[in-house]
Amino acid sequence: MLNLKPRSKKAGLPPGSLVYTGAKNIPTKITFIEYNKDIFNQKTIAECPQFTDKDTIKWIKINGFGNVEILKKIGKCFNLHPLVLEDILNTNQRPKVEDYSDYLYIVLKLFDVSENDQMVTKQVSLILGKNLVISFQEDDEPIFDLIIKRIKTKENQISIRGADYLLYSIIDTIIDSYFLDMENVEDNIERIEYNLIENTSPDVLKRIHSIKMDIITLRKTIRPLREMLSTLESSEYFQIEEATDYYLRDVYDHSLQIYEMLESLRDRTSEILDIYLSSTSNKLNEIVRVLTVISTVFVPLTFIVGLYGMNFNNMPELREPLGYPAVLVIMVIVALFMLAYFRRKKWI
């Protein structure tokens, strides 16, 4: 679920103020990766890397926003606009792409599960320049380790293609993770559906509500993601080669597929909520029907008891030796007759 409260940290500050609005205060770690078809170098650095303009692809991978001063130095080193740095640290951004002439700035989202089992978002910011990609992650989740392995082992085309293909690989990895998120939501829905008719406890309603909130969080990210990917693959950015546009188009198709899956999950959630409410209503009606039958059976019995409970002196039946058992027998017969009648009408 999106957390809007951290925005208060920036209230009243001028544009370009660097304030981290997220909840994870993780120490900043910078990994510098340099490669081409012949070489691969990876090392952890403490500040802005020093490198030449030789024909290699540079990937500066930054994890954690605990040290804002380091991020300021990175921004100054690569001449990043102050508003870009501000958006990187303001983790409530929606997916988008912005052209800053020398580089592209892209915002994406990852999903995670909080301590209370609620889905939350984590921001990933990307910079695409000439032979350069800079990635910014809030935490140290190793989601991009497989990409590094592919570069190192020279698998696929990634080691022989440009920085734009590396950007595509990062985006594709993030989009693929959405399919796993969708599967988790679908599994939760199926578990509820399987036991819904028998189990209509309040806990089930809480779980349905939790799933609905997860779907809302997913929709808030995936809807603008489609627009961003459409712009990225259709616009003529000089940083992206024409050959890479085909791969970006495939990622865009995946985003459409994910959105369709999400809409289907939303419909299923609404359906199970309707089923839950119907089942709860049916059980309540069943209880009311049983109570009504019991009350109806006791109406004539109460009448008989009330009749002979009147305080009159001249009531001959009260002097009959068999009067009391006769009244009990009559009451039992009346009750059995009414129960038989109700069962014949299928009211019980």
pLDDT digits (tens, 9 = 90+) for 170-210: 999 999 999 999 999 999 999 898 888 777 788 888 999 99
Distance in angstroms (rounded) separating the CA atoms of residues 1 and 91: 13
- CA atoms in the 13 A half-sphere facing the CB of 138: 24
pLDDT tens-digit profile of 107-151?
999 998 876 778 889 999 999 999 999 999 998 889 999 999 999
pTM over 0.95: no
Confidence check: pLDDT of 44 > 70: yes
Radius of gyration of the chain (CA): 34
Higher pLDDT pick, 159 / 321: 159
Q: For residues 14-18, give the mean pLDDT.
A: 72
- Domain spanning 287-345, CATH architecture: Up-down Bundle (1.20)
CATH H superfamily, domain 6-279 = CorA soluble domain-like (3.30.460.20)
Say if 6-279 and 287-345 have the same CATH topology: no
Distance in angstroms (rounded) separating the CA atoms of residues 192 and 218: 20
Higher pLDDT pick, 293 / 6: 293
Our measurement of the distance from residue 10's CA atom to the centroid of its chain's CA atoms, rounded to an integer in Å, reads 26
Residue spans per domain, the chain: 6-279, 287-345
Identity of the residue numbered 64:
G
Contacts of 109 (CB under 8 A, 6+ apart): 95, 121, 122, 123, 124, 174, 221, 225
